[in-house]
Chains A and B, each alone.
Chain A
Amino acid sequence: MSRFKDLQKNLFGGTTSNARQFGMIFTLLAIVLLFQFLTADKIGVGFGDGLTLRSDNLIALFQQNSYILILAIGMLMVIVAGHIDLSVGSVAAFVGILVAKSMADWSLPWPVAILFGLALGAAIGAWQGFWVAYIGVPAFIVTLAGMLLFRGANQFVGNADTIPVPPGFQKIGGGFLPEVGPDTGYNNLTLLLGLAACVAVVWRELQSRRTRKEMNAEPAPMWVSVIRMAIMVGVLVFVTLRFAGGRVGTSFPISGLILVVLVIAYGFYTRNTAGGRHIYAVGGNSRAAELSGVKLRRVNFFVMMNMSVLAALAGMIFVARSAASGPQDGLSWELDAIAAVFIGGAAVSGGIGTISGSIVGGLVMAVLNNGLQLLGVGTDRVQIIKGLVLLLAVALDVYNKSQGRFSIIGSITRPFRREASAEPASSSAAGSEPAKTTVAG
Chain B
Amino acid sequence: MRNFFGKSVAVGAIAMLALTACGSGRDGDDKSGSGGEAAKGFAANSLIGVALPAKTSENWVLAGDLFTNGLKEAGFQSDVQYAGASTTVADQQAQITAMVTKGAKVIVIGATDAAQLATQVSAAHNAGAKVIAYDRLILNTPDLDYYVAFDNFKVGQLQGQALLDGMKKKKASGPYTVELFAGSPDDNNATVFFNGAMDVLKPEIDKGNVVVGSGQKDFKTIAIQGWKAEGAQARMDQLLTSTYGSKTIDGVLSPNDTLARAIIQSIKSRNKPVPVVTGQDSEVESIKSIMKGEQYMTINKDTRNLVKETINMVKSLQAGTEPQINDTKSYNNNTKVVPTYLLPPVAVTKDNAAEAYASDPKLAPLTK
Binding site for B on A (CB under 8 A): 43, 51, 54, 56-57, 60, 64, 155, 159-162, 164, 170, 174, 184-186, 191, 194-195, 198-199, 202-203, 206, 209-210, 229, 233, 237, 240-241, 245-249, 318, 321-324, 326-329, 331-333, 336, 369-370, 373-374, 376, 378-380, 382-383
B268 contacts A by Cβ under 8 Å? no
Cβ-neighbour of B126 out of A43, A245, A249, A321 (below 8 A): A249
Chain B residues near A376: list those with CB within 8 A: 79, 81
Q: What CA separation (Å) do A237 and B79 show in the bound complex?
A: 33
Residue B326 lies at the interface, judged by CB distance under 8 Å to chain A: no
In the assembled complex, how far is the CB of residue A230 from the closest CB belonging to chain B, in whole angstroms? 9
Identify B101's interface contact among A184, A249, A374, A380, CB under 8 A. Answer: A374
Cβ-defined contact, B24 with A64, below 8 A:
no
Q: Mark B150-186, 1 if CB is under 8 A from A, else 0.
A: 0000000000000000000000000000000000111
Q: Given the complex of chains A and B, what is the CA–CA distance between A329 and B55 in angstroms?
A: 19
A162 touches B116 (CB 8 A): yes
Pick from B100, B119, B220: contact of A323, CB under 8 Å: B119
A370→B8 contact, CB < 8 A? no
Shortest Cβ distance from residue B20 to the other chain A in the assembled complex, whole angstroms: 5
The distance in angstroms between the C-alpha atoms of A376 and B78, with both chains bound, is 9
Q: Within 8 Å of chain A (Cβ to Cβ): is B86? A: yes
| Minimum CB–CB distance for B259 against chain A, Å | 16
Known pairs A159-B185, A237-B19, A324-B140; list 14 more (Cβ under 8 Å).
Answer: A51-B101, A56-B101, A56-B127, A60-B101, A160-B186, A160-B220, A191-B16, A198-B9, A206-B1, A248-B28, A322-B93, A370-B98, A379-B95, A380-B55
A36 to B310, CA, bound (A): 32
Do A185 and B24 touch (CB < 8 A)? yes
CB proximity of B260 to chain A, nearest CB, Å: 21
Bound CA–CA A131/B126 (angstroms): 49
- What 3 pairs across the A-B complex have the smallest Cβ distances? A185-B24, A379-B84, A162-B115
Known: A241-B16, A328-B112. A164 touches B24 (CB 8 A): no
Q: Which of B1-33 contact A (CB under 8 A)?
A: 1, 4-5, 8-9, 12-13, 15-16, 19-20, 23-30
B88 at the interface (CB under 8 A from A): yes
14 A-B pairs, CB-CB below 8 angstroms?
Answer: A56-B100, A57-B98, A64-B94, A191-B20, A195-B16, A233-B15, A241-B20, A247-B28, A247-B29, A247-B30, A248-B27, A249-B126, A323-B119, A376-B81
B43 to chain A, nearest CB (A): 13
A322:B12 contact, CB within 8 angstroms:
no
What total of chain B residues lie within 8 Å of the partner, measured CB to CB? 59
* Inter-subunit contact A245/B24 (CB<8 Å): yes
- Contacts A162-B186, A233-B12; A373 near B114 (Cβ below 8 A): no
Is A331 a contact of B87 with CB atoms below 8 Å? yes
For the complex, give the distance between the alpha carbons of A57 and B25 in Å. Answer: 15
Q: Mark B89-121, 1 if CB is under 8 A from A, else 0.
A: 111011101101110000000001111111100
Contact B5 A203 (CB under 8 A): yes
Q: What's the minimum C-beta distance from A196 to chain B, rounded to whole angstroms? A: 10
Query: Nearest residue in B to A185 (C-beta to C-beta)?
Result: B24
- Is B223 among interface residues, defined by CB-CB distance under 8 A? yes
Complex CA gap A291/B23 in Å reads 63
Write out the residue numbers on chain B whose beta carbons fall within 8 Å of the beta carbon of A373: 81, 94-95, 98
Q: How far is the CB of B336 from chain A (nearest CB, A)?
A: 15
